[in-house]
């Protein structure tokens, strides 16, 4: 079946702009996670959804970052007033439930100029 | 102390040899452990999960877990050049369902 999909695959934006990154999880997976990965580092947790609600948003770096999952499937990560330090690969993962193995999408490479 | 530690490498092994990748973690209450492979420019791909002490084998891969020593390892038998990648260790700590990743170990299998 189809895996996790993410759009866009690449996004270049200017400092101060607003961006939205989209994640479409594996069908039937109730848990959805956002991670951020910088070069040479392991993925860093941002936020986790179980169904429609954010079960843990402790990894969001500040209030410029926000994520939603209104219908319990597709999720959007929103970044306001982007900064150069936000440049990274943003990874989305989903699992059948919160205990399950997580499967990652291809990522969105965000570059803030 | 980092929560999940891995040697960044590179670890170089000749083709056909056994590659041994190691990971230590700080949360003694951790219950779930995972190994991912990540090729350059690609996203992490799940190789194995392990939840109980001991060994778990899947093809050429064996995961080993020792909770008393807070140590998990991945052995790759008959290493192939196509195994050259970064291997990420991920741990789910106590009271949470999110992964904490190590920084990864870069493996190079020399033909």
**Residue B86 contacts residue B107 (beta carbons within 8 Å):** yes
pLDDT of residue A99: 75
Here the tokens at position A63 are 């209030």
Give the one of B36, B90, B97 whose C-beta lies nearest to A99's C-beta: B97
**Nearest Cβ partner for B97 among A98, A104, A107:** A98
What average pLDDT does the structure give for chain A?
A: 94
Task: Please state, in angstroms and rounded to a whole number, the distance separating the CA atoms of residues A25 and A77.
Answer: 13
Does residue B1 have a pLDDT over 70?
Answer: no
Put simply, the chain A residues between 8 and 47 with a CB less than 8 A from any chain B CB are 31, 33, 35, 40-45
Q: What is the pLDDT of residue B77?
A: 98
CB pairs under 8 A between A and B: 52
The dihedral through the CA atoms of B35, B109, A4, A85 has a sign that is positive
pLDDT at B98: 86
d(CA A27, CA B63): 29
pLDDT-derived band of residue B2, with 50, 70 and 90 as boundaries? low
pLDDT for A14-58, tens place per residue? 999 999 999 999 999 999 999 999 998 999 999 999 988 888 999
Cβ distance A104 to B43 less than 8 Å, yes or no, reads: yes
pLDDT tens-digit readout, B35-85: 999 999 999 999 999 999 999 999 999 999 999 999 999 999 999 999 999
Tell me the pLDDT of chain B averaged across its residues: 94
């Amino acid at each position: 079946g189809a895996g996790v999909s993410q759009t866009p695959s690449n996004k270049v934006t200017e400092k101060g702009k607003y961006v939205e990154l989209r994640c479409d999880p594996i069908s039937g997976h109730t848990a959805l996670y956002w991670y951020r990965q910088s070069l040479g580092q392991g993925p860093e947790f941002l936020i986790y959804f179980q169904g429609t609600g954010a079960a843990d948003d402790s990894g969001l770096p500040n209030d410029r970052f926000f994520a939603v999952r209104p219908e319990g499937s597709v999720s959007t990560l929103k970044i306001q007033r982007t900064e150069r330090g936000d440049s990274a690969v943003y990874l989305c993962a989903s699992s059948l439930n919160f205990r399950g193995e997580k499967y990652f999408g291809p990522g969105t490479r965000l570059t803030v100029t | 102390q980092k929560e999940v530690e891995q040697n960044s490498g590179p670890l170089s092994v000749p083709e056909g040899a056994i590659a041994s990748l190691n990971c230590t973690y700080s949360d003694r209450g951790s219950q779930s452990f995972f190994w991912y492979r990540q090729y350059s420019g690609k996203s992490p791909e799940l190789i194995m999960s392990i939840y109980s002490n001991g060994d778990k084998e899947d093809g050429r891969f064996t995961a080993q877990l020792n909770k008393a020593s807070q140590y998990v390892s991945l052995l790759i038998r008959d290493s192939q050049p196509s195994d050259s990648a970064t291997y990420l260790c991920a741990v789910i700590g106590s009271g949470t369902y999110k992964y904490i990743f190590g920084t990864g170990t870069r493996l190079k299998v020399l033909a």
